[in-house]
Amino acid sequence: MSALEIGQLLYEGKAKRVFSSADPELVLVEFKDDATAFNALKKAQLAGKGTLNCCISALLFERLEAAGLPTHYRGLFSPNWMVVRPVRIVPIEVVIRNVAAGSLCKQMPIAAGTPLDPPLLDLYYKDDAFGDPLLTEARLMILGLVSADQQAEIEVLARRVNQVLLAFFAAVGLRLVDFKIELGFTSTGALVVADEISPDTCRLWDVHVEDSQERILDKDRFRQDLGGVVEAYGEVLKRVQGACPQARVYQ
């Protein structure tokens, strides 16, 4: 186990808490068992979810790192705690869709399951009070959240993340339908992938299962009351570990 000490609570979100450490270049993230959906209108405690999401995220961040993509991840602290670099989070949620699902099919006449090639990239304004609205180019410009160059950098990085994750998940029998990532700037101004990458933030379908509900191995099981949420997340971890067994512990 690492010698880092947990400092003060810096931020508490719906699924994670962020704490300082004695090293200003490191913060600690605790993954909670809280599950929320529909802007926290639906809530539950799912024992074991925090550990599963932390371990899955750690392995996926290591995968991105191995592919040369920058992330905030430094290593595991314990099974549900991660050591990361502190970043200034860009208040934009980047969603990449390889297959139509979720909000896209509620807002557009596109049938669920329709392949999207090239993948669709949607930007949302990260603000719960406004319900994370979809951004247009013009709205993004008015808000002045990022420069045009930074936006381009964010989009290029997000698409590269998609390429790496798509191939990785396909190799373990999972279809990456869509996912959300958050990005941040480090103290030196580098853009890195931050937050988490887990079944809370990705839609993942088991390629070996035909049934449109049975194949779901992500948070849609919670959103749609399908049951077996933790079991599904456990299956995702098992598949991911088939390719890369153990995440590194930060030392």
Binding-site ranges for ligand UDP (CB under 6 A): 93, 95, 101-104, 132, 178-180, 201-203, 219
CB of 179 to ligand UDP, least distance (A): 5
Q: Residue 32 and residue 187: Cα distance in Å, rounded?
A: 26
The neighbouring-strand residues paired with 181 are 94
Reported as type and span, the H/E element at residue 123 is strand 115-125
Q: Residue 16 and residue 108: Cα distance in Å, rounded?
A: 32
Q: Among residues 101 and 216, whose Cβ is nearest to ligand UDP?
A: 101
Q: Among residues 101 and 193, whose Cβ is nearest to ligand UDP?
A: 101
Q: Among residues 26 and 135, whose Cβ is nearest to ligand UDP?
A: 135
Q: Residue 205 and residue 211: Cα distance in Å, rounded?
A: 10
Q: Among residues 4 and 181, whose Cβ is nearest to ligand UDP?
A: 181
CB of 96 to ligand UDP, least distance (A): 8
Q: Which amino acid is at 59?
A: L
Q: Among residues 162 and 201, whose Cβ is nearest to ligand UDP?
A: 201
Q: How far is CA 118 from CA 70, 96, 219, 233, 245, in A?
A: 23, 10, 24, 28, 31
The residue at minimum Cβ distance from ligand UDP is 102
The secondary structure of 165-208 as a DSSP string is HHHHHHHTTEEEEEEEEEEEE-TT--EEEES--STTTEEEEETT
CB of 246 to ligand UDP, least distance (A): 26
CB of 3 to ligand UDP, least distance (A): 33
| DSSP 8-state secondary structure symbol assigned to residue 233 | H
CB of 251 to ligand UDP, least distance (A): 30
Q: Among residues 7 and 102, whose Cβ is nearest to ligand UDP?
A: 102
CB of 13 to ligand UDP, least distance (A): 11
Angle at 59 between CA 187 and CA 36, to 5 degrees: 80
